[in-house]
Amino acid sequence: MDQEWIKAKIINRQMLTDDIIEITIETYKEAKITPWQWGLFLFEDEKWPFERAYSIVDQDTDNEKTMIIFAIKLIGDDRWYTAIRKTRIGNEIHLKWIFWHFILQDTPVAKVFVWIGIGILPLINMAKYCATEKTMFFSVPYKKDVFYEEKIKKIHGLDCKIHVSREALSGDEKRYMSWRIDFIKEHFDLNTEFYVSWKPEIVDDIIKKLNILWYKLVYTEKF
C-alpha cells in the first residue's frame, strides 16, 4: 500500500562546503525512520511535479515532532538541484520514506566504511549503530571539502582516517592523511565487511582493489 505524503517544514539550511548543503526539516507527524533510510522529496517547478530521494544523515524524534537532517551535493543545473537551491527556512515540503538494499549487516564481524565525498551520508548512520569493531576511510580532494568531521569524531569506538588526495599537507596537519586510500597498507581480517558508497566507476575500482587483497564481503551503494 502506498504511503501518504508527509508535510514538513524546513527549519534550517546551511552550506557545509562550497557545494554541499545541509537541510533540516521538522514534521509534527511521528516518523519511524531506519538509520540508513532515504527520504523521497516531492518538488514542483514550472513544468510538473517530480520526486527525488536523498539519504538521511541524522534524526531525532519525540512524542510530538520529528527532526530529520539531509545533506545534498549541488552539482549542475538539473531540476532537483535547482529546486533545492531555491528552498528557504520556513518552506513547506512533502516527503515519504523509502528503504534501500544498502543496509548494515547484523553480523559480529569488523566493519570498514569507505566513502568519497558525499558518499558518506548512509555510512555515518551505519557507523553510529554498528556495535562491532569499526573503521572509516573518508577521502576528499582538498581540505576545504572535509565536512562532518566533528560529527564523525563523536561516533563511539570509530577509528576514522581522513584522506586529502590533491593537496599538500603541512607538518602540523596530522589529523589528515595525504594521497588516496591505499588498502595495501591496511590489515584487516579476511571476514571483515566493507561498505562502499559513491559513483559507480569509483565503487567498482575499490571493489576490484579489495578483491585482489582477498576481501570478498563488500556491500555497495552506487549513485
Tell me the DSSP string of 35-75: TT-EEEEEEE-SS-EEEEEEEEEEEEE-SS-EEEEEEEE--
**Which of 99-103, 171-175, 178-182, 200-204 ranks highest by mean pLDDT?**
200-204
Structural domains of the chain sorted by starting position, each given as residue range(s) with its CATH number in brackets: 6-98 (2.40.30.10), 111-222 (3.40.50.80)
pLDDT tens per residue across span 122-167? 788 889 889 999 999 988 888 888 888 898 889 999 998 888 887 7
Percentage of the chain beyond pLDDT 70 is 90
Taking the CA of residue 127 as centre, how many other CA atoms within 13 Å lie in the half-sphere pointing to its CB? 29
For the chain, counts of helices (H) and of strands (E): 4, 12
Distances (CA, A) of 33 to 37, 125, 159, 204: 7, 11, 26, 29
What pTM was computed for the model? 0.83
φ, ψ dihedrals at 74, nearest 5°: -100, 105
pLDDT tens per residue across span 74-131? 887 788 888 888 999 999 998 887 767 788 899 999 999 998 766 667 788 889 889 9
Q: How confident is the model at residue 223 (pLDDT cuts 50, 70, 90)?
A: confident
